[in-house]
Each structure stands twice: as structure tokens, then as C-alpha cells.
């Protein structure tokens, strides 16, 4: 899984061992570190960047009207309609918010009674690594997708023909242009759609996260 990891290493003399017990105790400083890292990870989805790394919009190489192809195919697998957000460039790496909510924290010791501790932040969702680091998704094309695409485009053409309001008609024409990006659904020989997933990192240690961790350590040992 993608993970932002902080390893705390302490010496082996008695003073350092007592210090390690404080760090890994019930009121764990590691838990505070983990909360900071988790907050930074979740914040990335709202800001559409992780630290100084700006996330690309959905399908950044598309020309013309935008369409979230993977999302549109997922909708068409269920019925003859596509959610309105599939036509938006942002927010990227978000749909239902499941990935953002799945980010969790694990604090662990390198060995029982030892002085090496870790904070691991990440997600166990099967697609988390691909969203974080990029890759490819292969989406099987089904007969249901093809049938629902035909129904959707036929319905849209009828609405365009009947539209009297110029602004509404213009929006529907834009939608028709966007739907051309999945016109391959009319090709029965095409059985799989391959989608490139651009990297959108959301776990790690940002400059802000490190500054907040340092402040948390100072505050903890000043109290």
C-alpha cells in the first residue's frame, strides 16, 4: 500500500530507553505524528496537491470537452445515464470520498522493548497505490455498457432536437462532444478499455507535515 513513513530511532542507553517509553506510551507522541500525516494526506484531496506537488486534472491529455472515461463506463454498466460530475476536470482522484476516508495510521515498534519505532500512514484499498503512483487500468467492456450508451446518445439527440433555449442546447451539444470519447462502445470488436492513471501522490511527509511534527515534539517535551 502507499505509505508515508516516519521512523524514530533512539539510542540504547537507559535515558534513551525511558525516552522511548514516553514516545510509545499510552499518550503516544507517535500517534500525534500519525494524526498530522493523516491530516496532510486527506488535505491533499481538497487542495488537489500534496505539499508542493500539484495534481493533474482528470484526463489531462484530453482535447476538447472533458469526460471521466472510467467513471462514465462505471455508470453505463448500471444504466443509461452518466453522472454530471463525469464531465468535470476536478476534483481529481475523488468520486465518493472513499479513498480519502480510508487513509489510516499504524504505529509500531521495530522489536519488543526496542528503540526503533515507526508511524505508517496509508490506505489498504486495492486501487490506492495506482492512484498514488500512477499506472494503467483495464476496464472490460460489456454488452450492458454498449446498450446503455446507445440509449443515452439517442435520448440526448432527441433532447437537442427539441431544445428551444440556446444556452441549454449549447450545454447538450458540449455533452455530445464529450460522449464521443467513448464512441468506441459502438465497436463490438473492442472488449477492453485501457486507461492511464496519472500519479497523484497523497501519502508521505510534506514540509508542512514535518514542521508540525517538530512542533508537536517540542510541545510534548516542554510540557
Q: Where are the domains of the chain?
A: 1-56+92-129+201-222, 63-91+142-190
Give me the pLDDT at residue 118, please: 75
Give me the pLDDT at residue 50, please: 96
The pTM for the full model equals 0.83
Is the separation of the CB atoms in 198 and 134 below 8 Å?
A: yes
Q: Take residue 42 and report the three cell numbers written for it.
A: 486527506
Length of the chain: 223
- Per-residue pLDDT 10s for the chain (223 aa) are 555 444 444 444 555 555 556 555 545 778 888 899 999 999 999 999 999 999 999 999 999 999 999 999 999 999 999 999 999 999 999 999 999 999 998 876 555 555 566 788 999 999 999 999 999 999 999 999 999 999 999 999 999 999 999 999 999 999 999 999 999 999 999 999 999 999 999 999 999 999 998 898 888 777 5
Give me the pLDDT at residue 106, please: 82
Q: Could you tell me which of 179, 126, 185, 138 has the C-alpha nearest to residue 156?
A: 179
Give me the pLDDT at residue 36, please: 94
Amino acid at each position: 500500500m502507499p505509505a508515508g513513513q516516519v521512523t524514530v530511532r533512539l539510542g540504547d542507553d537507559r535515558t534513551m530507553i525511558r525516552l522511548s517509553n514516553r514516545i510509545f506510551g499510552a499518550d503516544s507522541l507517535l500517534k500525534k505524528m500519525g494524526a498530522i500525516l493523516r491530516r496532510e494526506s486527506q488535505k491533499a484531496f481538497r487542495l488537489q496537491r500534496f505539499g508542493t506537488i500539484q495534481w493533474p486534472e482528470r484526463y489531462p491529455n484530453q482535447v476538447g470537452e472533458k469526460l471521466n472515461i472510467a467513471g462514465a463506463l462505471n455508470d453505463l454498466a448500471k444504466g443509461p445515464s452518466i453522472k454530471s460530475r463525469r464531465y468535470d476536470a476536478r476534483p481529481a482522484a475523488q468520486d465518493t470520498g472513499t479513498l480519502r476516508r480510508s487513509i489510516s495510521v499504524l504505529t509500531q515498534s521495530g522489536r519488543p522493548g526496542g528503540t526503533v519505532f515507526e508511524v505508517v500512514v496509508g490506505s489498504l484499498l486495492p486501487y490506492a497505490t495506482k492512484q498514488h503512483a500512477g499506472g494503467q487500468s483495464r476496464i472490460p467492456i460489456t454488452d450492458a455498457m454498449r446498450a446503455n450508451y446507445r440509449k443515452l446518445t439517442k435520448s440526448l439527440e432527441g433532447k437537442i432536437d427539441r431544445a428551444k433555449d440556446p444556452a441549454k442546447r449549447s450545454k447538450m451539444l458540449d455533452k455530445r462532444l464529450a460522449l464521443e470519447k467513448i464512441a468506441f462502445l459502438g465497436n463490438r470488436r473492442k472488449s477492453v478499455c485501457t486507461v492511464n492513471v496519472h500519479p497523484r501522490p497523497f501519502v508521505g511527509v510534506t514540509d508542512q507535515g514535518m514542521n508540525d511534527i517538530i512542533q508537536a515534539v517540542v510541545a510534548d517535551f516542554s510540557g
